[in-house]
Chains A and B, each alone.
Chain A
Amino acid sequence: MSASLQRGLNAFKEQIDAPVAAFFSSCVRCGLCANACLFYTETGDPKYTPIYKLEPLRRVWRQEYTFWGRLAKAVGLSKAVTDEELGDWEELVYDSCTMCGRCSMVCPVGNDITYMIRKMREGMAVAGHAPVGLVGATKRAVEIGSPMGVKLPALQAQIRHTETEFGLEIPVDKEGADYLLLLSSMEIMNFPEFIGAVAKIFKHAGVSWTISSEAFEATNSGIQIGVSEIAAELVQRIVTAAEKLKVKSVISPECGHAYMAIRWEGPNLIGRPYSFKVVHILELLDQLRAEGRLQTTGKESQRLTYHDPCQVSRRGGVVDQPRNLLNMVAEDFVEMPETGTMNWCCGAGGGVSSNERADEIRLKAFNRKKQQLDAIHPQAIVSACSNCRIHLEDGLEEYGMDMPVISLTETIAEHLAEDKS
């Protein structure tokens, strides 16, 4: 078996549903979505208009599922979508779309463009038009267990290191724990402090938790490249581990798309509801705060802002929690001009970070974030997604801005009250 146009178009036909039909029926070509997309605003190139990125899918909808489209196709008046076309669209669907969902928030007729991009990628991937970098990451995720190729020994090394440094026990494969913590490869490789921070907080709050040696990877390349079967396989690994360890909840770490994959897409991918709950780490921390189990001391004196990871806030629904938590530890917390569900993407989500070809446009699009930051001049940026953090740092360096990007969980951990009665 190999990728083919026919498989791609077949996938389009499978994916088109009532919402897609309603969306395409409603588009009036007003172009408002362009100004909601950082790839358009920072390049000024109309081809980056979000709705245009869906053109092949729209044509398949028209030709297959509307009266006039079927008629036009039958009499040969409308041209079928070609492989070459899909090839041309690869850059638009993968390199210049992070599935951040901002266009879906502004469309006056209410089109959820991101919802359709996600569906379109299902066809693009099986038509052989997914970016090489993303295909590689997906293969690693399936074969090695992590898109970055992180294996269990690497995690075990980080766990040992953290245990020594903080003098805390990191429970692994502890059956019957309340919470199963997932991690993203980036946290394991780039931000191992996260593990220590979580351990510290959970000890402080008395949370019963564990990490699974069989399913610790939270990320899911399957939903980024757009192959539901692969995404389902990756989700299934976590579900199996969680059920084996009989945990009550699974914690999605500081990673945007991981939350989307395990919290919102997961049950639909595996075709059944979970027997456990899924929470984002910030949701859990905010819940502990509300229950009075999270006590902090002292405040950050520097001017802080919060960068909403798109899949956590706009597409995930975790919007107020980070603000509640920041207010515990920040003296000078300022919001960016457009924030919360209207925040601008860092430019690297939705698989763009795994796609080296998109580096140039990603950095160009970062100018949008720069303008947001220039409006408020924070001294540090707090976020809750490792991918955002890496690419915020990358962008800040590119634009010569000196500003640390820190994890919200880690910031909370630093301010934990020493003695909790």
Chain B
Amino acid sequence: MSKDETLGEALRRQGITRRGFLKFCAATASMMALPPSMVPAIAAALEKAMRPSVIWLSFQECTGCTESLTRSHSPTVEGLIFDTISLDYHHTLQAASGSAAEAAREAAMEENYGKYILVVDGSIPTANPGYSTIAGISNKSMLLDTAKGAAAIVAVGTCAAYGGIPKAKPNPTGAVAVSDLIKDKPIINVSGCPPIPVVITGVLAHFLTFGTIPELDALGRPKAYYGQSIHDRCYRRPFYDKGLFANTFDDEGAKKGWCLYKLGCKGPTTYNACATTKWNEGTSFPIEAGHPCLGCSEPDFWDGGGFYKALSMPTEDITRAAVYAVGAGAAAGVALGAMNRAKKARAVKTHEKVTINDLEKGADDD
């Protein structure tokens, strides 16, 4: 596939019919969380879209994001998107390694300077550059170097987006998010641990289709996927509203599929598309499987006060504080009370007998 071929041409060359292309567009619209009425516009745009160059950098990460993207979805329509893009560097997926791989990256950067998309997964250690290096290059300098010529950066996964688990307390590597180091490029945070695969491809498809980055929320995430909380779109929400909760993982409420709020579900403060897009080809998502949401697409989710502690519960021992306060209060109260009693007793002692001659001011003085 040559670099100046449009997507439409590339697909036709692969023997894909117009009907197949329309199906591809419908699936892409669904993937981008766009309404089906947008399909004709998407078809027109994709027809003319040029295949972009993509460089994928993996830093302090577990490869879960790449797994999420590749493992369960091959071959798929999203796969086609990847066929369409030019994935010029991905050290987990590419055959080349070592200096040959780095040469490929540098070549792609040079060739597509200012136009390529940089995808990053994993957080970047800042405490010591030696904590994570690729071909002897520290993550930080590789990111800064590669970001220079990027048209946009997609931070895939919570580690790249917000620091994620490497940044969890006590953050030994001084891990930071992409957005902590790069300030002058558009950054799209595709958070999640891992993110929903279609969200990754959806963002790429959006860029491919419209040549722009999608509308983002305050945390830099595409609103199309992160616009609503898990809680708001959760099929168990009616149970929350009715006040029906599972109290343990094996009680009647759990078996009946009641709300998992009491078991620590972070759905109310977590924004992601799990409840509608779901996982594994739309099969299920954690809450459907009976486990509370961990809030993995939110910053600092690992340090959020316990996965199984309900959001409204205190994170410190309040009972003990209250008991101590009662004790201290009783002591202080008795002390104050004793002072008051002494004062009142003094007042009683000071009291001079009142006679009818004491009822007027200065009656004696006259």
Interface residues of A (CB under 8 A from B): 1-4, 7, 10-11, 13-14, 16, 64-65, 67, 125-126, 128, 130, 135, 138-139, 142-143, 225, 227-230
Contacts and interface: CB of A to CB of B under 8 A. Distances in A.
Contacts of A65: 340, 343
A3 B355 contact: no
Interface residues of B, number: 22
Given A13-B343, A14-B344, A3 B351 contact: no
Interface in B307-366: 336, 340, 343-344, 347-348, 350-365
Contacts of B336: 67
Given A1-B364, A2-B365, A126 B354 contact: yes
Given A2-B365, A128-B361, A10 B347 contact: yes
B352 A1 contact: yes
B356 A126 contact: no
A142 B356 CA distance: 8
A138 B352 contact: no
A10 B360 contact: no
Contacts of A142: 356
A2 B352 contact: no
A357 B279 CA distance: 88
Contacts of B355: 1, 229-230
Interface of B: 336, 340, 343-344, 347-348, 350-365
Given A2-B358, A3-B358, A3-B360, 18 more contacts: A2-B361, A2-B362, A2-B363, A4-B361, A7-B352, A11-B351, A14-B348, A64-B340, A126-B354, A126-B359, A128-B360, A138-B356, A139-B356, A142-B356, A227-B359, A229-B353, A229-B355, A230-B355
A126 B344 CA distance: 17
Contact of B359 (A16, A128, A228): A128
Question: Taking each of B350, B354, B364, which has the highest tally of chain A beta carbons within 10 Å of its own beta carbon?
Answer: B354
B328 to A, nearest CB: 13
Contacts of A11: 347, 351
A14 B357 CA distance: 21
Contacts of A2: 357-358, 360-365
Given A13-B343, A14-B347, A14-B348, A230 B354 contact: yes
Contacts of B357: 1-2
Contacts, number: 67
Given A65-B343, A67-B336, A14 B351 contact: yes
A142 B355 CA distance: 9
Contact of A10 (B351, B353, B358, B364): B351
B359 A130 contact: yes
B364 A13 contact: no
Contacts of B360: 2-3, 128, 135
Nearest to B348: A14
- Interface SS, A side: helix
Question: Taking each of A2, A4, A229, which has the highest tally of chain B beta carbons within 10 Å of its own beta carbon?
Answer: A2
Nearest to A14: B347
Given A2-B365, A227-B354, A13 B347 contact: yes
Nearest to B347: A13
B347 A229 contact: no
Nearest to A13: B347
Given A2-B362, A4-B361, A13 B356 contact: no
A3 B354 CA distance: 9
Contacts of A128: 359-361
A226 to B, nearest CB: 10
A262 to B, nearest CB: 20
30 contacts: A1-B352, A1-B355, A2-B362, A3-B358, A3-B359, A4-B361, A7-B352, A10-B347, A10-B351, A13-B347, A14-B344, A14-B347, A14-B348, A14-B351, A16-B344, A64-B340, A65-B343, A67-B336, A125-B354, A125-B359, A128-B360, A128-B361, A135-B359, A142-B356, A143-B356, A225-B359, A227-B354, A228-B354, A229-B355, A230-B356
A139 B361 CA distance: 15
Contacts of B343: 13, 64-65
A125 B363 CA distance: 13
A7 B360 CA distance: 12
A399 B354 CA distance: 41
Closest 6 CB pairs of A and B: A13-B347, A128-B361, A14-B347, A135-B359, A139-B356, A229-B354
B154 to A, nearest CB: 58
A139 B344 CA distance: 29
B340 to A, nearest CB: 5
Contacts of A135: 356, 359-360
B91 to A, nearest CB: 67
A13 B347 CA distance: 6
A14 B347 CA distance: 6
Nearest to A135: B359
A122 B353 CA distance: 12
